[in-house]
Structure 1
Amino acid sequence: MEQLHSLTVVRHGLSTGNVTAQNAETGGAELIDIPERDADVPLAPTGREQAEAVGRHLAEHPPELAVVSPYLRTRQTAEIALAGSGVPVVVDERLRDRELGVLDLLTARGVQARFPDEARRRERLGKFYYRPPGGESWADVLLRLRALLREIREDHPGGRVVLFAHEATVLMVRYLAEGMSEADLMALARRTTIANCSISSWRGEDGRLERELFNSVAHLRRADAPPTRQEDVNAEPV
């Protein structure tokens, strides 16, 4: 099967939910007080500025197709980044964020307090295979990503494709593109915080995808771009 020319993954910009969740975690709360359902959480003002910076970066090497998670924050990121570019945009439900089921809107403290048995089960099974009641494991998400990426390769051989998605998606695309093991993926997840509007990219080379960028925020640090306003962002060098 012919490989893509390039595959780029952009995490959505800073959302109002990201801000609320961080405040809840640092404040010791059990619940994350977000009024919207997860699919309807919008970008924060900083997230919109970050999306504009992504647009300036993508304009240097325009993609031929954008595939976007249906969640509002990812659609807004793509709309801002691709404004006026003419790049076709396809919304695909397989790029949605991981569903957390009964653990939705709970902080780490909230999970321990309200679902101690689930916390123990997650510890025993590990993040890769643990599926919260009503939710998805990482392996579940990988199944839909495998199907999506295969379809993209078949429909756009030699194409330049950008995905606008979520934090876990970036890690899982790397797992699939580079043939990582479960242990490799979990170690990467422990040491890496995927930044809002970070860019990760791979280039097709001899039938495989070779990494170019991973969790890069260089475009957000330019003189004409807003600061990331994030702490604890670890961009792994390539």
Structure 2
Amino acid sequence: MDKHSKACHRSLPKRIILVRHGESQGNLDMAAYTTTPDYRIPLTRLGVEQARTAGEKIKVVVSEGERWKVYFYVSPYERTRATLREIGRAFSRGRIIGAREECRIREQDFGNFQVEERMKAIKQTRERFGRFFFRFPEGESAADVFDRVASFMESLWRDIEMRRLEQDESMDLNMVIVSHGLTSRVFLMKWFKWTVEQFEMLSNLDNCELRVMQLGPGGEYSLAIHHSREELQRWGLSPEMIADQQWRASATHGSWYDNCPWHLDSFFGRFHDSESSSSSEEEEESSHNHSGD
């Protein structure tokens, strides 16, 4: 790794932690959406407890060394902001660099769901036709969420590159994104270049469940540093996706395509072993066609 790469590596967050909000009243009873706007749905008592426990878990993860700090991004919904408040109880003020409300990591817009039976019917339809491209009436598809999450990630990188997060190279920076289940899965999809088919295999995060992306020695982020293979399997990652995460855990930054041929194979099938074998097959096919004239 050259000097420039080492400097860039030092300025990167050591971890990017995705956390879903605690149990909300809507998770407990879908009828809540018929009387309360989605963005105002509160946490349940259990959700508050889950958020406090999540704060303690995050603190254990990030406090490996003596010099570390945390920066938070949070969805503007009541249930995510309340989750952040409870998570924050685990940290002293000196450990928190800052927090920012970020509208682009909000929940998928499900449209105007005031009729419970209609909501259930439309969600059943989504299950039959696939989660990624199905767009809710007056609402969003997961593909729409992908577009705004991609925009958020561009801003996130600018924040890092322009040192807006007050990065001290002697400090481990930990970025925590308090958001929603589908939004978090879309974030991972975009980050790791997963396909739509791979996205459809993923299971949703449980309330206040964490996904820890940790920076490896080669400058790549991986889920396999903090999480076990069994966890990745339970989340719906295929053997190829898990192998990719394991490679990223010790990979050299920038060599992804050279070391992940399965990604190309999923698009093109079997390649010729060499240019010469390809030319020979083409000549043989041409000769065969001419012999039939």
Normalising by structure 2, we get a TM-score of 0.61
Q: Unmatched 5+ residue regions in structure 2? A: 64-68, 162-166, 168-172, 243-293
RMSD: 3.1
Q: Distance in 2 between matches of 1:111 and 1:9?
A: 27
1:199 counterpart = 2:210? yes
1:177 counterpart = 2:161? no
Find 2:86's aligned residue among 80, 94, 99: 80
Q: What does residue 118 of structure 2 align with?
A: 110
Any conservation in 1 of the 2:149–2:187 contact (CA below 8 Å)?
yes
TM-superposed CA distance for 1:4, in Å, is 3.4
Q: What does residue 10 of structure 1 align with?
A: 19
- Equivalences for 1:1-238 in 2 at 5 Å? 2=8, 3-21=12-30, 34-60=34-60, 61=62, 63-83=69-89, 84-86=91-93, 87=96, 88-102=98-112, 104=113, 110-111=118-119, 119=125, 123-124=128-129, 126-157=130-161, 159-188=173-202, 192-205=203-216, 206-211=218-223, 212=225
Q: What does residue 225 of structure 1 align with?
A: none
TM-superposed CA distance for 1:16, in Å, is 1.0
Q: Distance in 2 between matches of 1:123 and 1:235?
A: 20
TM-superposed CA distance for 1:101, in Å, is 1.5
Change (3 A) 1:9 1:91: same
TM-superposed CA distance for 1:177, in Å, is 2.2
Task: Give the percent of matched residue pairs that are identical in Structure 1 and Structure 2.
Answer: 24
Higher RCO (Cα < 8 Å, 6 or more apart): 1
More helix by share: 2
**Equivalent residue of 2:175, what SS?**
strand
Q: Distance in 1 between matches of 2:34 and 2:138?
A: 19
Q: Distance in 2 between matches of 1:198 and 1:36?
A: 25
TM-superposed CA distance for 1:111, in Å, is 4.9
Change (3 A) 1:99 1:20: same
TM-superposed CA distance for 1:134, in Å, is 1.6
Change (3 A) 1:235 1:139: closer
- Equivalenced residues, count: 203
| Worse-matched range after superposition: 49-58 or 148-157 | 148-157
Deviations 1:83-141 (A, max 9, x none): 25322111110111000124x3566x63575x69x948x845x3212222321111111
Normalising by structure 1, we get a TM-score of 0.73
Amino acid at match of 2:118: G
TM-superposed CA distance for 1:176, in Å, is 1.7
Q: Unmatched 5+ residue regions in structure 1? A: 22-30, 219-233
Q: Distance in 2 between matches of 1:12 and 1:45?
A: 13
Amino acid at match of 2:132: F
Change (3 A) 1:42 1:111: closer
